[in-house]
Structure 1
Amino acid sequence: MTLFDDREHAFEAKFAHDAEMQFRAEARRNRLLGLWAAELLGRKGEAAEAYAREIIKADFHEAGDEDVFRRVQQDLGHLLDDAEIRAKMAELKAEAKAQLLQEV
């Protein structure tokens, strides 16, 4: 194997790792968002966990965050405006990334 092949393999491995970490961070963010929204809706315990799983599943409808945003907006639109929901999503994404970095 040449030096070029080694570098190519390293870049491919880094790309795969970064993509996996991004997926895990988004899934964790969605769980945290679901638990936060469940609390606002008065759900506790298993009901809160079930709602968080629903939010995680909502992310598989289309690429990006809009499917998750729409789901939470549908449930919390009467309590919060769009900017507050988006701000919480951004805050929780940073928190999810920090949690994953601590685990590594």
Structure 2
Amino acid sequence: MARPRHAAPIRTCIGCRRRELAVDLLRIVARGTETGNGSRVVEIVPDPRRRLPGRGAWLHPFSACLSTAERRRAIGRALRVSGHLDISALEQYLENRHEHS
């Protein structure tokens, strides 16, 4: 008897809100770091291997979706974090990815 095939996971891009297969989206996670003066900076990092711990959110690997997510303030909501969000590592990852494509 044949084993049933599992459907591929579908996720929603936090930028454009389109539903896609998870393999077509980039997972992002938040890493919180304390600064010396007591304020908190949350670094948003890409997780292309989908292995980092913590709550993840999904994003098309395009700068247009990142800017839309940033404008809508969807990154903090999706990851359930607040404070200053540092997306520089994510922006750098997307720029480098675009150069190699």
The question of a shared fold, defined as TM-score above 0.5 by the shorter chain, is answered with no
More helix by share: 1
Structure 1-normalised TM-score? 0.33
Structure 2-normalised TM-score? 0.34
More strand by share: 2
Greater C-alpha Rg: 1
